[in-house]
Structure 1
């Protein structure tokens, strides 16, 4: 079992911690000593997983733009070299590209130094083998090795600098050339104006190394330079300020399309020529339409908070099957893998957060790959006299949405959260509520037109002592009406913080 100190670093399928000073009340815990022990743990885990001695391993190491990146990379590299590992130093890199080093460069494993969209002072480690990202139990084993101070035998490794991002960008360019198949094959995006917002993360390469060489006009692109303080906005397609920024950039540039990435480019979002977001349910809808080409009747795995309109779109308009699963990108990916192993045709696993993993791309959640597929679709549609937004004409979108996040005030938050969900389930039965039969996380309840004309989903956060409540309604005022009905039960839950509900109902 992990003790309290080492357990704090486990964040689902990643390792994360405070790596830099600068935020009051947050002391650095991702120290050089802790990182070195974690890196040693990964060498031991990987050596067992691939059945090779540590001195026979090749491991790629890369990082996003965070200010603590070089310090952490140095600490990781010291341990790997000291264990006899051949280290490929990829420098500034996207998380998806680090997975691809296990495919294209035949690395036994890779380490990406990133904390995704989290604040500048945080950082972490993400690990890959050719089978994909590690799962939660693998991370726990690595941390157990670290906790016990286990280290690999001493060896004499070495470091080789590689520019793998150039190969990764070339692959994306070739995808567009082949997918669009324009008369000017080398410049299939000539005549297109596409704005890129990298949020000062690792995604600036997409404008300079993917789009521009293919003939696209990328003027108006913003925040392409890496800056780990993220001075302009949070690099996160789910962040409202970030999305408003890219929408404005598209309109200001009179561009055909805008794309935005999170810090390490494993998530992406898009904006159409009208400055309208292609994000969340709209992004899932377009990705589903693309994935189901050539996969008639295929199954799309999504997270649990997708809209009722999206289900109608996937099943009614596209003729697919919507498999609503759990939050957490590894959860949806693992579910898609499971379904395919059982013989179900499942070409896509996608979260509304922007994590999208396609079967044709190793079920890797890759924001640049997804955006590339959307750009190919945009070019094909233009050749038919259509636009991206025409794909979404039949997507029914809610009139109102809300998300409330209730803090759990009890130390054993997971057990308490599960008891709240069980309590709501029992309450739903006694009040004849319509509980969704296909929900696989928390409890999802639908209401008729006279009681809110929508639904709520109450669940337990994947990592934190939080119970998120998502509400959607097709009627003005419907979200409050639904919230009021649920609140009659939640008021009796003494270990839930009720301020968020009070504020919502008081609006």
Structure 2
């Protein structure tokens, strides 16, 4: 028996496709067989399986479990929940050594996919390509695994609340927060969590609905925060928190409705953490503001700029022993007093804790940040065969100049005006550009440099690509 995956579904960080077109139950079965075979060959044990609220998720979960058990691995089914709840099930249970979450993350409702963890480390890149090779060759072990159901939601919520350890309940009694689950998988955990938090909590869209009837569950796009902004304004709340479809990415706004972007949240977390862990190494991706790296240094930490991608960041944290990392996209990773994976519910708790420990409201913390002018992520379509080559050309040209270049992931060029970035997406046929300055004129000059480099490679920034 062999299986061929559609060429578009085996991605760099996860597996993702369109249900009924590029992804279906046969793919899920083949993923299960390959993953189980690799785990058995590595001497691993049980696999935890969870799924998000998409309408196609239960069907894929059933097929995945069939594949895992057919290759001789025992499965722990934790049911519907957030991706970080699956990570928690894998990290906290001594008898579980792998985890697979079925989730389409923040993609449209007709998408679905798989995020995986293998013996405590992210499973991505070459690991995912290996699943494709094994399926094509039918290189699967045979076996008869079992499956059991395990409730982890209450234990997970208990663990989230440990993020407030050492903070007196009365320090939180005046807390007033808005929360938007976006009809994603965060809903059930969020309801249980806020029921146990001091203060007043106002919840939006906690009913899990894979058609996302209210708004798309991607808090990195400001238009998706409109309902939360309205709630915070109407109830005069301290701040608001939003989640993506599987709750591994956080969005936030302050009491004035200003967005607190991923790198700005990391500034707050870093200031708090560096009081507890002086001199810590803190990692952020190449898209993050210079203000973040400056903040880490100013508070005595060591900033490290690294490649974009949740699996790449998690791997770098393990390698360096970093207690905290984050990405512009809202993935935040706490290894300090937690497990080092991206968990937006835990990040929300740590934001509350940081505000108390720093003695300032979230609105004050946001207001104190330097006013940087930056572009949103500019994404434009470039043919798959051309995108990495174009970046190499830019890198080559810049190496012949005295430009200050960081080429860890694409090219990030620092000038007197600020910085600009050009990188190839690992998951789509797009180039991503971003620029930041402290003056409008500086920003224009930086964008001009991006356009100049694109033109030299026969490209232009004209065609904006959707997420």
Q: Quick check: TM above 0.5? A: yes
Instruction: Provide TM-score, normalisation by structure 1.
Output: 0.84
Matched, 1:487 2:464: no
**CA spacing shift, 1:402–1:477, aligned 2, 3 Å:** farther
Counterpart of 2:404 in structure 1 is: 435
**Residue by residue, what CA displacement relative to the aligned partner does 1:25-83 show, whole Å, maximum 9, x if unpaired?**
xxx1212222211111111011112x15xxxx422211011111011011112223334
**CA spacing shift, 1:359–1:174, aligned 2, 3 Å:** closer
Counterpart of 1:246 in structure 2 is: 228
Where do 5+ consecutive residues of structure 1 fail to align? 21-27, 341-345, 502-507
Matched, 1:63 2:37: no
**CA spacing shift, 1:153–1:258, aligned 2, 3 Å:** same
Counterpart of 1:459 in structure 2 is: 423
Structure 1 residue matching 2:200: 3-state secondary structure = coil
CA drift of 1:238 comes to 0.7
Structure 2 residue matching 1:314: 3-state secondary structure = helix
Equivalent residue for 1:295, pick from 277, 288, 301:
277
CA drift of 1:407 comes to 2.6
**CA spacing shift, 1:492–1:198, aligned 2, 3 Å:** same
Instruction: Provide TM-score, normalisation by structure 2.
Output: 0.91
Counterpart of 1:280 in structure 2 is: 262
| Separation of aligned partners in 2, 1:101 and 1:402 | 35
Structure 2 residue matching 1:10: 3-state secondary structure = coil
Counterpart of 1:232 in structure 2 is: 214
Where do 5+ consecutive residues of structure 2 fail to align? none
Equivalent residue for 1:32, pick from 7, 15, 25:
25
Matched, 1:499 2:467: no
Higher deviation after alignment, 108-117 or 208-217: 208-217
Maintained 8 Å contact 2:82/2:247: yes
Moved runs in structure 1, 4+ residues, more than 6 A? none
Higher deviation after alignment, 362-371 or 207-216: 207-216
| Separation of aligned partners in 1, 2:428 and 2:162 | 41
| Separation of aligned partners in 2, 1:389 and 1:173 | 23
Matched, 1:9 2:2: no
**CA spacing shift, 1:349–1:90, aligned 2, 3 Å:** same
Equivalent residue for 1:405, pick from 371, 379, 385:
379
| Separation of aligned partners in 1, 2:461 and 2:82 | 40
CA drift of 1:300 comes to 1.1
CA drift of 1:251 comes to 1.4
Equivalent residue pairs, number? 461
Larger radius of gyration: 1
CA drift of 1:232 comes to 1.5
Matched, 1:193 2:176: yes
| Separation of aligned partners in 2, 1:380 and 1:489 | 45
Matches within 5 A, 1:353-502: 353-360=329-336, 361-380=338-357, 384=359, 386-392=360-366, 394-409=368-383, 411-426=385-400, 429=401, 432=402, 434-436=403-405, 440-448=408-416, 453-494=417-458, 496-500=459-463
| Separation of aligned partners in 1, 2:124 and 2:114 | 13
**Residue by residue, what CA displacement relative to the aligned partner does 1:293-347 show, whole Å, maximum 9, x if unpaired?**
322122211100212222222212x22122111111222222222223xxxxx32
